[in-house]
Structure 1
Amino acid sequence: MLTDTIIQDTRWQQAGLETLADTAAIATLAHLGLNPAHFEIAVLACDDARIATLNADFRGKPNPTNVLSWPEEDLSADSDGDRPHAPDPGTPDDPQPLGDIAIAFDTCTREAHDQGKPFVDHVTHLVVHGVLHLLGYDHIRDKDATLMEAHERVILGKLGLSDPYE
């Protein structure tokens, strides 16, 4: 598997996060022309309390959020709207770590409900979003956001999911 999922909140097991995360990560890398067998990603499946602590520790924001990501290296583009730098691949026997993602069950559940989306679709989108962050994509600058959202739309469309930005 491309993803190594650490389940801290057992509700994620019932939701099938390990399969969702792997499917979303594989689709994201394949869309970008990267061989998923050459990379690995750690996914922490947690609750709002844990992600709030992580958000406070790493971003200075002591509140829960849906997903956080920590890239192994900074691959971000030099100019707004440019494609990020490509990661150096590993091998199937020694995959290159892309970084870590944490995802909060409570916030994901609440957002999916509030947005009238299936939980599985919302979580898949958030994992795609997190993987893109690991690969240097961001949404702070306008052109970067446009590029990232375009990739999200295409990846999710290939997975048979609706446009999350409509």
Structure 2
Amino acid sequence: MSKALHPLTLSLQCADGRHRSLLPRHKVTRAIRHALEAPGEITVRIVDEVEGQALNSEFRGKDYPTNVLTFSYSHEPVVMADLVLCAPIVEAEAKQMRISVADHYMHLLVHGTLHAQGWDHEDDEAEAEAMEARETEIMLGLGLKDPYKRGR
């Protein structure tokens, strides 16, 4: 029996449009809704390296672009967040991992949505393992591959 999916209000912005065709609204919505544990209001913004680096530097103190940044504003009763994905980094990582760019975006959308709800993997190994297991469960539920089985 599949779980009921929560409602989602989605804003999809492509400041870097190189991958726009890989991110149809219905696929982005599906990935995020499968990861939501409550109703959500989420903005997804696809950016270039300049914007990605500026945001990572300003908000995390790390002077380089990263694949996904999550800005979480509320967990309950509605998950409110911005997910910022850096197109050139997503593309480079997908190439390095030998997976499709579209599948890597789906994984990062799931990953960022979990962060928006308080999931973490930075400081605690048990939390990291739980988050990884949850991501795998969601990805398999979406009919995609386990993102952590590459090269094992």
Name the TM tier (shorter chain). Answer: 0.7 to 0.9
Aligned to 2:142: 159
CA spacing shift, 1:133–1:40, aligned 2, 3 Å: same
Residue of structure 2 aligned with 1:3, choices 6, 10, 13: 10
TM-score in terms of structure 1 length: 0.79
TM-fit CA distance, 1:51: 0.5
Aligned to 2:3: none
Identity of aligned residues (%): 33
> Does structure 2 conserve the Cα–Cα contact (< 8 Å) formed by 1:2 and 1:25?
no
Aligned counterparts, 1:1-166, within 5 A: 2-29=9-36, 32=37, 34=38, 38-73=39-74, 87-89=75-77, 96-140=78-122, 141-166=124-149
> Does structure 2 conserve the Cα–Cα contact (< 8 Å) formed by 1:3 and 1:25?
no
Report the Cα distance in structure 2 between the residues aligned to 1:16 and 1:39, rounded to whole angstroms: 19
Alignment gaps of 5+ in structure 2: 1-7
> Does structure 2 conserve the Cα–Cα contact (< 8 Å) formed by 1:21 and 1:124?
yes
TM-fit CA distance, 1:120: 1.0
TM-fit CA distance, 1:118: 1.2
Alignment gaps of 5+ in structure 1: 74-86, 90-95
What is the RMSD computed on CA atoms of the aligned residues?
Answer: 1.5
| CA deviation map 1:54-87 (0-9, x unaligned) | 00000111101100001114xxxxxxxxxxxxx3
TM-fit CA distance, 1:14: 2.2
| Higher relative contact order (CA closer than 8 Å, sequence separation 6+) | 1
Report the Cα distance in structure 2 between the residues aligned to 1:20 and 1:63, rounded to whole angstroms: 28
- Aligned residue pairs: how many? 141
> Does structure 1 conserve the Cα–Cα contact (< 8 Å) formed by 2:79 and 2:116?
no
Report the Cα distance in structure 1 between the residues aligned to 2:119 and 2:79, rounded to whole angstroms: 17
Report the Cα distance in structure 2 between the residues aligned to 1:56 and 1:125, rounded to whole angstroms: 23
